[in-house]
Amino acid sequence: MRAVHHWIDGKALESGSGRSGVVWNPATGQQQATVDFADAAEVDLAVAAAKDAFGSWRSTGLSKRAQIMFSFREIVNGRKAELAAVLTSEHGKVPTDATGEIARGLENIEFACGAAPLLKGGYSEHVSTGVDVYSLRQPLGVVAGITPFNFPAMVPMWMFPIAIMAGNAFILKPSEKDPSTAMLLAEWLAEAGLPAGVFNVVQGDKVAVDAILAHPDIAAVSFVGSTPIARYIYETGTRHGKRVQALGGAKNHMLVMPDADLNMAADAAVSAGYGSAGERCMAIAAVVAVGGVGDALVERIVARIPKIVVGPGTDPTAEMGPLITGEHRDKVVSYIHSARRQGATVVVDGQDYTPPAGNENGFFTGATLVDNVKPGMDVYDNEVFGPVLSVIRVDTYNEALALVNDSPYGNGTAIFTRDGGLARQFQQECTVGMVGINVPIPVPVAYYSFGGWKASLFGDRHMYGPEGIDFFTRTKAVTSRWPDPRESSVNLGFPETR
């Protein structure tokens, strides 16, 4: 059976820990590979390789770094089909989801290619007589990224292109559920000319994570995952003196106002609720129907659900694939049962879906629509992370706004309305990091930055874009004086700026 190893110091390395995990094919429910689980000693090896590479990499010219990143971009762009096939095999993504993920990842590689102007410092001449002050932006050293299963290509691309372009050496700990994408990216970076040790992959579970968080030679950790783990990553990493950005979970609301185009709103709710099988932190999970539009909106959503083609990613017509594991599928289904018990109305039950022949054991569930959901119900209070869309009915905008602002999460939100004044009011009043106006999934483009508020982000820097540059660098101020030797003299007074 195929085995997925680590990538350390420019080559694949088989683990000696004696531990491994199972890699499933979500569409068939069959094991397709094993993945090595690193111990602390193997994390040490990766850090040592990165530390050795950092000295020369940080001194490599920005033009050379950009050339390598451009070459990597061309490799990824030219082999999208190969990468998409790996995403489909291990994650279960359908073709449109896989290619869309790669496209958004490429945006971040392209941003990194042109990041040199953002790595500049500043200069002030003659702050005092004969004294100049200037600032430098320098890399941190060895940095690490810990990434989730739902976007095994895109989320690492949020991190390592910028980190490497800024002069750091990078260690990636991908999800053990779909580990092969990280290895493919490592091979392509080496092919693009990246020196050995600048990019390393350590496979594994919590043992590898804890070793990364405790390692004294890792300066910073970037993380995307659930809120409980994000909090753990942040608290543990900062306790060990690291810079940490940890993006957590979400419960994203989409407000539908009485003046909204209900057909557009229904299209958006279905697309943002069931795309990626709901396994994304920017999924719309809660549609808030305001002022009596609930019946008409639910009717339109119900009419669209049967048209969603659910199936394996090997089916080019499939629009929604399986969930990542059987365990996760069962957890998602449990929210459907609890919603019914707690008084909500299950309008469309995804459990009625029957997988096609050959995929009977796949980790599938169909699209589910739950109406009359209220705060306090499990399906509302928790991040379901599956194709379960809830409808909450309220009478007024203020009630809808309160739902958004009372949520412990603050990742993304959206409002559908024709009222520009109300939309502007909402973008000012909501306590959420990313806002969409008639846009259901407001993921910023690469030259902005991604991140939420409240329990959706631990740390003070959002991911990628300008804030990504800030996270993976630090500034140094230099005060310089080159006086005329003929004017040099002893002066014991306190230095003054004048």
Total domains present in the chain: 2
Question: In the annotation, is 113 catalytic?
Answer: no
pLDDT (0 to 100) of residue 498: 52
Q: Are residues 389 and 317 in the same domain?
A: yes
Task: Evaluate whether residue 485 is within a structural domain.
Answer: no
* Whether residues 224 and 76 fall in one domain: yes
Closest among 320, 311, 305, 321 to 267, alpha carbons compared: 305
Same domain, 47 and 185: yes
Kindly state whether residues 392 and 260 are assigned to the same domain. Answer: yes
Task: Count CB-CB contacts under 10 A for residue 193.
Answer: 12
Is residue 152 domain-shared with residue 268, that is, in the same domain?
no
Please pick, among 281, 373, 446, 463, the residue that the annotation labels catalytic: 281
Virtual torsion, Cα 165, 168, 169, 175, nearest 10 deg: -80
Chain centre to alpha carbon of residue 466? 16
Burial 479-490 (b: 16+ CB within 10 A, else e): eeeeeeeeeeee
**What pLDDT, on a 0 to 100 scale, did the predictor assign at position 496?**
67
pLDDT tens, N- to C-terminus, the chain (498 residues): 899 999 999 999 999 999 999 999 999 999 999 999 999 999 999 999 999 999 999 999 999 999 999 999 999 999 999 999 999 999 999 999 999 999 999 999 999 999 999 999 999 999 988 899 999 999 999 999 999 999 999 999 999 999 999 999 999 999 999 999 999 999 999 999 999 999 999 999 999 999 999 999 999 999 999 999 999 999 999 999 999 999 999 999 999 999 999 999 999 999 999 999 999 999 999 999 999 999 999 999 999 999 999 999 999 999 999 999 999 999 999 999 999 999 999 999 999 999 999 999 999 999 999 999 999 999 999 999 999 999 999 999 999 999 999 999 999 999 999 999 999 999 999 999 999 999 999 999 999 999 999 999 999 999 999 999 999 999 999 999 987 777 777 878 877 655
The CATH number of the domain where 128 resides is what? Answer: 3.40.605.10
Residue 75 and residue 223 in one domain? yes
Asked whether residue 26 falls in the same domain as residue 153, the answer is yes
For the chain, what is the radius of gyration of the CA atoms? 25
298 and 231, same domain (yes or no): no
CATH number at residue 310: 3.40.309.10
Which neighbouring-strand residues pair with 133?
124, 479
pTM for this one? 0.95
Q: Which residues form the domain of 184?
A: 2-248+456-478
Is 133 a member of any domain?
A: yes
- Give domain status of residue 451, yes or no: no
Q: In 242-364, at which residue ranges do the beta strands (DSSP E only) sit?
A: 243-247, 252-256, 284-290, 345-348
Please report where in the chains the tokens 């999934």 appear, as a residue: 441
- Residue ending a domain, choose from 385, 408, 437: 437
Q: Does residue 342 share a domain with residue 196?
A: no
| Residues 67 and 155 reside in one and the same domain | yes
326 domain residue, yes or no = yes
Element (H, E) at 252: strand 252-256
Phi, psi of 39 (to 5 degrees): -105, 180
Mapped onto helix, strand or coil, the DSSP state of residue 431 is coil
Nearest-angstrom CA–CA distance, 21 and 205: 9
- Type and span of the H or E element at 200: strand 199-201
474 and 402 housed in the same domain: no
Residues 67 and 129 grouped into a single domain:
yes
Which tokens sit at 82? 């190969």
